[in-house]
């Protein structure tokens, strides 16, 4: 039996209709966690498929080029597992984010997994790169725990990128006991504390929120619809 998922979208109309001014680039940087708890493999693979089919080149990076570790491999179906085998050499040799130039890329995407909660939140290199992308009017996308990478990003005027923004991420209701005992904070709570307007669908239901150049997804089920929204924004 096929399960039909209802996908929810929230769009800030006036901002979504704005003209996207992008450099002539078909490259998208995918920022991976290099923490031992890893990045969520499915959120990397599903995004890779959508973006590459749309003609974009994916460049994997970690803050300092340290190898990231995949998690959630047991959730992959046969097609996802084959894609993983194809991109494994790239994943094994991530670029150093600090050495990349925001002018080279059309967008940045941050997948989740537990890792971003530990090594991407308020990381100075991550903060600077994401701020540079956003202030160049380029899309910034993150899913599940990936929005942890947005928490410490400050713009030139000193304000937090997410302050006043409509956003989603892994919800409190979706966190298990391990997360509650080991994470430095629950992501929903922290994003709200930092001034974001947080929304969530029911656990495991997909939700994507677009607020201008900021695109966030709630959970792994949100990866494909988020990636499609990212392509739409880049094609405008």
Q: How far is CA 169 from CA 50, 67, 149, 200, in A?
A: 20, 24, 11, 7
Does residue 209 contact residue 147 with C-beta atoms inside 8 Å?
no
According to CATH, what is the number of the domain 8-235?
3.40.50.880
List the domain boundaries for the chain. Answer: 8-235
198 beta partners: 167
Query: Given this model, what pLDDT does residue 24 score?
Result: 60
Q: Is the overall model pTM greater than 0.75, yes or no?
A: yes
CA-wise closest residue to 129 among 216, 227, 43, 59? 59
User: What is the phi/psi pair of residue 129, to 5°?
Assistant: -70, -45
Q: If you average pLDDT over residues 143-154, what whole number do you get?
A: 98
Q: Of all residues in the chain, what percent carry a pLDDT higher than 70?
A: 90
pLDDT in tens, 178-227: 999 999 999 999 999 999 999 999 999 999 999 999 999 999 999 999 99
The Cα 38–Cα 36 span in angstroms is: 5
pLDDT digits (tens, 9 = 90+) for 27-84: 999 999 999 999 999 999 999 999 999 999 999 999 999 999 999 999 999 999 999 9
In this predicted structure, what is the pLDDT of residue 16?
Answer: 42
Helix, strand, coil share of the chain (percent; to 5): 40, 20, 40
Does residue 21 carry a pLDDT above 80? Answer: no
The token pair that represents 180 in the structure block: 């509650």
């Amino acid at each position: 039996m096929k399960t039909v998922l209802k996908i929810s979208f929230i769009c800030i109309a006036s901002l979504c209709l704005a003209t996207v001014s992008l450099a002539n680039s078909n490259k998208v940087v995918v920022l991976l966690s290099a923490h031992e708890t890893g990045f969520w493999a499915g959120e990397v693979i599903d995004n890779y498929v959508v973006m590459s089919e749309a003609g974009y080149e994916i460049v994997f990076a970690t803050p300092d080029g340290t190898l990231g570790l995949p998690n959630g491999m047991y959730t992959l179906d046969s097609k996802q597992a084959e894609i993983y085998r194809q991109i494994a050499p790239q994943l094994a040799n991530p670029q150093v984010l600090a050495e990349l130039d925001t002018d080279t890329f059309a967008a940045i995407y941050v997948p989740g997994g537990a890792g971003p909660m530990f090594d991407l939140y308020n990381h100075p290199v991550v903060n600077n790169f994401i701020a540079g992308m956003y202030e160049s009017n380029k899309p910034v996308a993150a899913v599940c725990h990936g929005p942890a990478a947005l928490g410490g990003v400050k713009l030139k005027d000193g304000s937090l990128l997410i302050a006043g923004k409509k956003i989603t991420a892994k919800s409190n209701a979706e966190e298990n006991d391990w997360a509650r005992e080991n994470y430095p904070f629950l992501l929903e709570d922290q994003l709200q504390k930092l001034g974001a307007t947080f929304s969530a669908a029911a656990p495991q239901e997909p939700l994507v929120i677009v607020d201008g150049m900021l695109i966030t997804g709630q959970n792994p089920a949100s990866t494909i619809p988020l990636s499609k929204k990212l392509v739409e924004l880049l094609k405008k």
